[in-house]
């Protein structure tokens, strides 16, 4: 039943408010915490005055660097650690960025904690700082040298500089995006409670295992004594894919006062408390012959970093193979700034890379007089131009053809400003493509079938709205030929299974593989055939037991066995997959229409058509929703979202949902989603590749290209604003 239209699991609970999120947990005796954050851009705390705060009735505790918290750092997630950054606040007087926590107030009530936090005063010895790449005082390092991992080396094929110089038609432009913040609806926060020496954490996260591993390291206790529960996540998007620095101090506070403590960060704090999408500045050079055949590409990227961590960048992984480009040179650098460590935000590199590459391709289409769809089809790659290996599957051409058909692309007149509406609005149609690598991680799945014909699956994975539990329900019900109602999928709890972090669009493909293996084991134990429908109640009853259990741990092709140990430890396990005979990516094509209102020049997006190649569609209902959501994200990325940096005082200033502008319902028109739906068996026996990230890749470029078609203006910096098209 992989592929059946099973309704979203948990939908009713969510819309009726019955779903309990991490911070909805309210144990008896709960106390409330509120952080105090630095107002200096960089420097040292010379004085911290907590007297007035401590005098507020109900205040129980104020933690700061003046105490010995008895904790160490958890380490950076991409450097053998667990946290979104290596810096753990509250351990010393050093301020690395504006918004860094300097104290944590705990009180009987949220009101008292908030009031007291507002009364803490700090004095600083301020130092100069730089919050934007390009400002004085930043430092630039070459990734290839700074992070010597083979998969982060510059991608070079042929002689791109020579071929570019010799190309009769050339584009050489700079494109920029970011910073942006994920801003999921569920705020960052959690509830911690001690029971003797055991710690229970309720927190919305994509990485219960990393929270457990990191807290164990920070608190110096056995991970077995920590349980992290994350049943529902109100949006992750990468913001919640690692341990955040509030949690260990919260556990210290709970232990000191002998009560459970809850912390929910105010929205404004979340802009500095967790990762964000860094600034990425792309110089893209494309060379083609006069017929529009791509000859060379040079893609150089500078990505914003913090002073203390480098986020491993893979922008050129997709730009080097989106088309059949014989000569390619990539170069990625990091620009160190005084912010928290930027990190993963949906399609973290690919969204920005595709905006740059697919804008440049559109510019080349105009320079060569070729139709943008026809140009892309003519430059499609039959094999991977980087390695020469075949693709496990590549249906980008089909995505483009089906998308063009559904969109009515044939009606487009190519000249900019050539299409207008009855009201005088300028109409533009744009197209762009996207790709995302097939990533996968080690996973454990345990199935328990009972004599009533029901089955419970406990799986190392997280449900953050992407539809993983629905996809697994479809797969289990389909495999056994039972009603989806008889299936319960439990995820997001370290007491059930070890969990790798769920991100990188690998959640569904990885858990499907483990569930498929556990199903084979279950059938073995039930003595049924390996395929075909099962009378589950009868089969369990025939064993003479109430329940039959089966478990499987699986990992991806080419992943070394120690990756399973890393998964059990809550560490990132990203070696592989390595496919001996191929490379593997998901693909997508987006078609967007923009209308520029004649009076206001407001840019509207009345319709988008997106056609994805994600292998077999595991769950159509949630997959369609995931692509629709990504298109909304793309509208936000293209036309709305920008985290404004204050170069005078540091930090992000539009740190709330009033000023960090995202699309609202009125901004979203018709979104049509279609899938190629051809199975690809490299990742799992269900033929499922990945979808969550590729869905966003190229949306912003399609909109930017449509804006150019409507207005003749080529805007090379996101977001595109009214003033860009006046």
| Catalytic annotation, residues | 693
Binding stretches for ligand MOS (CB under 6 A): 206, 236, 238, 241, 344-346, 348, 503-504
| In the complex, least distance from residue 342 CB atom to ligand MOS, rounded to whole angstroms | 12
Choose between 288 and 464: whose C-beta lies nearer to ligand MOS: 464
Choose between 407 and 633: whose C-beta lies nearer to ligand MOS: 633
Q: What is the Cα–Cα distance from 408 to 385, expressed in whole angstroms?
A: 31
| In the complex, least distance from residue 458 CB atom to ligand MOS, rounded to whole angstroms | 22
Choose between 181 and 346: whose C-beta lies nearer to ligand MOS: 346
| In the complex, least distance from residue 136 CB atom to ligand MOS, rounded to whole angstroms | 31
Choose between 503 and 567: whose C-beta lies nearer to ligand MOS: 503
**Nearest alpha-carbon partner for 362 in 290, 289, 300, 286:** 286
| In the complex, least distance from residue 343 CB atom to ligand MOS, rounded to whole angstroms | 8
Choose between 436 and 660: whose C-beta lies nearer to ligand MOS: 436
Run of H or E residues at 488: strand 487-490
Run of H or E residues at 448: strand 443-450
Q: What is the Cα–Cα distance from 100 to 103, expressed in whole angstroms?
A: 9
Choose between 265 and 439: whose C-beta lies nearer to ligand MOS: 439
Q: What is the Cα–Cα distance from 660 to 451, expressed in whole angstroms?
A: 53
Which pair of structure tokens corresponds to residue 358?
Answer: 């697919």
| In the complex, least distance from residue 235 CB atom to ligand MOS, rounded to whole angstroms | 11
Which pair of structure tokens corresponds to residue 96?
Answer: 């690395």
Q: DSSP assignment of 136-167, as one string?
A: TT-EEEEHHHHS--GGGSPPEES-HHHHHHH-
Which DSSP letter does residue 453 get? Answer: S
Identify whether 447 is preceded by a cis peptide bond (ω within 30 of 0).
no
Closest residue to ligand MOS in the complex (CB): 238
| In the complex, least distance from residue 358 CB atom to ligand MOS, rounded to whole angstroms | 20
Which pair of structure tokens corresponds to residue 481?
Answer: 């030929």
Question: Strand pairing partners for 125?
Answer: 44
Choose between 241 and 339: whose C-beta lies nearer to ligand MOS: 241
| In the complex, least distance from residue 630 CB atom to ligand MOS, rounded to whole angstroms | 12
Q: What is the Cα–Cα distance from 153 to 144, expressed in whole angstroms?
A: 5
Residues 429/419, Cβ–Cβ less than 8 Å: yes
Q: How many residues does the chain have?
A: 726
Choose between 318 and 400: whose C-beta lies nearer to ligand MOS: 318
Residues 538/528, Cβ–Cβ less than 8 Å: no
| In the complex, least distance from residue 204 CB atom to ligand MOS, rounded to whole angstroms | 13
Biggest CA-to-CA distance, the chain: 77
Helix ranges, 555-600 (H) = 562-568
**Nearest alpha-carbon partner for 87 in 105, 69, 72:** 72
Question: Strand pairing partners for 330?
Answer: 299
């Amino acid at each position: 039943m992989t592929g059946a239209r099973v309704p979203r699991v948990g939908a009713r609970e969510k819309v009726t408010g019955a779903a309990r999120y991490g911070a909805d947990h309210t144990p008896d005796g709960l106390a409330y915490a509120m952080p105090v954050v630095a107002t200096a851009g960089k420097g040292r705390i010379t004085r911290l005055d907590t007297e007035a705060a401590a005098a507020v009735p109900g205040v129980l505790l104020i933690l700061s660097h003046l105490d010995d918290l008895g904790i160490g750092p958890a380490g950076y997630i991409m450097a053998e650690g667990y946290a979104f950054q290596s810096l753990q606040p509250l351990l010393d007087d050093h301020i690395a960025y504006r918004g860094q926590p300097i104290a944590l107030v705990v009180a009987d009530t949220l009101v008292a904690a908030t009031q007291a936090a507002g009364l803490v005063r700090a004095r600083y010895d301020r130092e100069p700082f730089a919050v934007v790449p390009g400002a004085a005082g930043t430092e630039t390092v070459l990734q290839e040298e700074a992070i010597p991992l083979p998969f982060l080396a510059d991608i070079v094929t042929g002689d791109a500089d020579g071929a570019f110089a010799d190309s009769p038609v050339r584009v050489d432009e700079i494109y920029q995006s970011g910073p942006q913040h994920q801003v999921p609806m569920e705020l960052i926060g959690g509830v911690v409670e001690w029971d003797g020496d055991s710690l229970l954490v309720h927190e919305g996260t994509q990485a219960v295992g990393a929270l457990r591993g990191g807290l164990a390291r920070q608190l110096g206790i056995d991970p077995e004594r920590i349980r992290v529960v994350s049943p529902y996540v109100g949006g992750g998007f990468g913001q919640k894919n690692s341990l955040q620095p509030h949690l260990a101090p919260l556990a210290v506070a709970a232990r000191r006062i002998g009560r459970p403590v809850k912390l929910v960060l105010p929205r404004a704090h979340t802009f500095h408390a967790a990762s964000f999408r860094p600034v990425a500045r792309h110089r893209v050079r494309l060379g083609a012959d006069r017929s529009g055949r791509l000859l060379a590409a040079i893609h150089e990227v500078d990505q914003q970093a913090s002073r203390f961590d480098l986020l491993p960048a893979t922008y050129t992984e997709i730009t080097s193979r989106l088309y059949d480009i014989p000569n390619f040179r990539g170069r990625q650098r990091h620009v160190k700034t005084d912010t928290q460590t930027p990190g993963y935000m949906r399609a973290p590199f690919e969204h920005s890379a595709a905006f740059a590459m697919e804008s440049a391709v559109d510019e080349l289409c105009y320079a060569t007089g070729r139709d943008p769809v026809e140009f892309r089809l003519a430059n499609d790659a039959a094999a991977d131009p980087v390695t020469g290996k075949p693709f496990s599957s590549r249906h980008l051409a089909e995505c483009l053809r089906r998308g063009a058909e559904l969109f009515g692309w044939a009606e487009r007149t190519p000249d900019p400003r050539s299409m207008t509406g009855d009201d005088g609005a300028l109409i533009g149609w744009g197209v762009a493509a996207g790709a995302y690598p097939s990533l996968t991680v080690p996973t454990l799945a345990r199935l328990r079938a009972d004599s009533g014909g029901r089955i419970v699956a406990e799986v190392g994975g997280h449900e953050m709205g992407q539809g993983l539990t629905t996809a697994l329900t479809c797969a289990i019900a389909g495999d056994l030929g039972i009603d989806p109602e008889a299936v319960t999928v439990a995820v997001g709890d370290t007491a059930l299974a070890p969990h790798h972090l769920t991100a990188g669009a690998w959640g569904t493909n990885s858990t499907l593989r483990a569930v498929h293996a556990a199903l084979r084991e279950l059938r073995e134990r039930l003595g049924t055939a390996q395929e075909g429908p099962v009378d589950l109640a009868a089969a369990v009853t025939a064993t003479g037991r109430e329940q039959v259990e089966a478990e499987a741990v699986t990992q991806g092709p080419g992943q070394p066995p120690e990756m399973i140990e890393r998964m059990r430890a809550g560490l990132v396990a990203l070696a592989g997959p390595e496919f001996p005979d191929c490379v593997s990516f998901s693909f997508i094509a987006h078609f967007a229409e923009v209308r520029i209102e004649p009076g206001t020049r407001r840019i509207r997006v009345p319709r988008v058509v997106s056609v994805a190649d994600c292998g077999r569609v595991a769950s159509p209902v949630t997959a369609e929703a995931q692509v629709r959501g990504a298109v909304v994200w793309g509208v936000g990325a293209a036309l709305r979202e920008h985290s404004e940096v204050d170069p005078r005082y540091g930090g992000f200033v539009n740190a709330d949902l009033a000023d960090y502008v995202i699309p609202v319902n009125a901004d979203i028109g018709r979104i049509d989603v279609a899938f190629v739906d051809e199975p690809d068996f490299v990742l799992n026996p269900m033929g499922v590749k990945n979808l969550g990230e590729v869905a966003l890749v190229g949306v912003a470029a399609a909109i930017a290209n449509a804006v150019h078609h409507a207005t003749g203006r080529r805007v090379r910096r996101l977001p595109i604003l009214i003033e860009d098209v006046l």
